[in-house]
Structure 1
Amino acid sequence: MDDDRERLTSKPETSDPLPKAEHPWVETLKTIGLSVVLALGVRSFVADSRYIPSGSMLPTLQINDRLIIDKLSYRFSDPVRGDIVVFHPPAQLERELVANGEKKFQEAFIKRVIGMPGDRVEVKGGKVYINGKVLAENYLGEPPRYQWSSTELTPDGIVPPSHYLVLGDNRNNSYDSHYWGFVPQDKVIGKAILRFWPINRAGGITPQPDYNN
């Protein structure tokens, strides 16, 4: 009995050595490296931040506004009318920019989705019409002063499948779909959901338009 008690309570003659602690600088570098990897992963697949370089979205977005772009939602659902989207320039826009001598143009643009696949869009009398119905837009600083129809882009004027017609909120000073055409869905980067700077105007930024009956 005494021998059993001795075997249970006595310390082993040998044990595995504890791992040697890493140098604090090594641990710090590992932490920084992991943080960078996680940040890049979030930026690539979940969310990104952007700033507004021009006045094409006034008064909704002002120059130097800082935004959070949701890059995840459109993996599970399609853009809807009224979304403010960030997108890579489609082929027609790239050709326009190159033709104008802009070799280093913006990598991304931001506009509001107005025309959905299957829509016909007209701009006349200071209003936008979707399939013959007036679109209520309480976010515009002033009404458009031009006349335009999506028949200028396609013979039947219909927005193609998986494409969108986008316009700037600053209708009279925006280089948008009524100049260069539709945005393919695979060019859309994400949806602007939040302004975080300046602080006094922080908050959500996507009011939804509707039809007037």
Structure 2
Amino acid sequence: MKDRKQQRSFLKELPLLIGIALILALLIKTFLVQAFSIPSDSMQNTLQRGDRVLVDKLTPWFGAEPERGEVVVFHDPGGWLDESAQSDPGGIAGAFQEFMSFIGLMPSAEEQDLIKRVIAVGGDTVACEKNGPVTVNGKALDEESYIYPGGTPCGSEGFGPVEVPEGRIWVMGDNRQNSLDSRFHQQLPGHGTVPVDEVVGRAIVRAWPIDRWGTLPVPDTFAEKGLAMAPAAMGLVGAVPLVLWRRRLRTGRTAVEAAPTAPTAPTGDRRTRADED
């Protein structure tokens, strides 16, 4: 009798438990972490087609912005994806996939998301000569550790220099010969750059398949000294004339103000410092 009561009590509480679990899953997906599936080969070999990554969505809520070297997921800023190529499973399977991705228990079914590596941020100047290295603020990046083996940093054609506006980022795939990234959208508004507001979050872990599990750290080349020197140097160069101009203006103003207030003592009352001593 007691077992039946416990069973009935559990069955009554089951819908509540499921509801709480779904709410928690939705909150985690919305504010903390979300799973995404890799749909193409543009990030090889860092990410393979079909890999699942976990994306950190928490830090942007605290004002953190994408940094150079990070792998980020972002919404299509407009014109990057071919809508005719988007697939829709349809039917029960499609509805189930959409629901599970909505609450974060399956990789996102949203076809408007892309994943690339941040190469430059607002204020940077990025460029690449034909078959040469990618440069950020004049400093060449050593990308051998993450670009697709046998590939070249910017493909068969160069680009730039491109000045990245504040609040935007320049992104490129690790498989440079098979990635429609910022290089190929310079004719669009923003000239190939992506608004920071469109960034969903940073991909931090390659979670599936298990044998490919691993973190997605920022490559060492983006931590080298001098990478962000150009904007600072330009700011210094611009500041020097302003400081000199203000100093000259202040000196001239002091001289003009001092002239009328200078004491005009009678000749007989003038004494030198030597006389006083």
Does residue 1:146 correspond to 2:156, yes or no?
yes
Deviation at 1:78, TM superposition (A): 1.3
Deviation at 1:102, TM superposition (A): 4.5
Residue from 48, 70, 77 that aligns with 1:83: 70
Give, in whole Å, the separation in 1 of the partners of 2:218 and 2:165. Answer: 25
Amino acid at match of 1:192: A
Give, in whole Å, the separation in 2 of the partners of 1:127 and 1:71. Answer: 32
Contact 1:140 1:169 in 2 (8 A): yes
Deviation at 1:56, TM superposition (A): 0.2
Aligned to 1:187: 198
Deviations 1:49-80 (Å, cap 9, x if unpaired)? 11111100001001111111000112221111
Q: What secondary structure does 1:39 align onto?
A: helix
Aligned to 2:207: 196
Contact 1:88 1:107 in 2 (8 A): yes
Give, in whole Å, the separation in 2 of the partners of 1:44 and 1:212. Answer: 36
Residue from 23, 26, 40 that aligns with 2:26: 40
Deviation at 1:36, TM superposition (A): 0.1
Which structure features the higher share of helix residues? 2
| Comparing 139-148 and 45-54, the one that deviates more | 139-148
Residue from 42, 49, 56 that aligns with 1:56: 42
Aligned to 2:104: none
Instruction: Count how many residue pairs are aligned between Structure 1 and Structure 2.
Output: 185
Does residue 1:174 correspond to 2:179, yes or no?
yes
Which structure features the higher share of strand residues? 1
Aligned to 2:124: 119
Contact 1:136 1:212 in 2 (8 A): no
Q: What secondary structure does 1:80 align onto?
A: coil
Deviations 1:1-44 (Å, cap 9, x if unpaired)? xxxxxxxxxxxxxxxxxxx9873222011000000001001101
| Comparing 130-139 and 141-150, the one that deviates more | 141-150
Q: What secondary structure does 1:93 align onto?
A: coil
Deviation at 1:149, TM superposition (A): 2.5
| Comparing 179-188 and 123-132, the one that deviates more | 123-132
CA RMSD across the alignment: 2.2
- Higher relative contact order, chain-length normalized (CA < 8 Å, sep 6+): 1
Aligned to 1:4: none
Give, in whole Å, the separation in 2 of the partners of 1:207 and 1:184. Answer: 21
Percent identity over the alignment is 38
CA radius of gyration, larger in: 2
Deviation at 1:92, TM superposition (A): 4.0
Aligned to 1:9: none
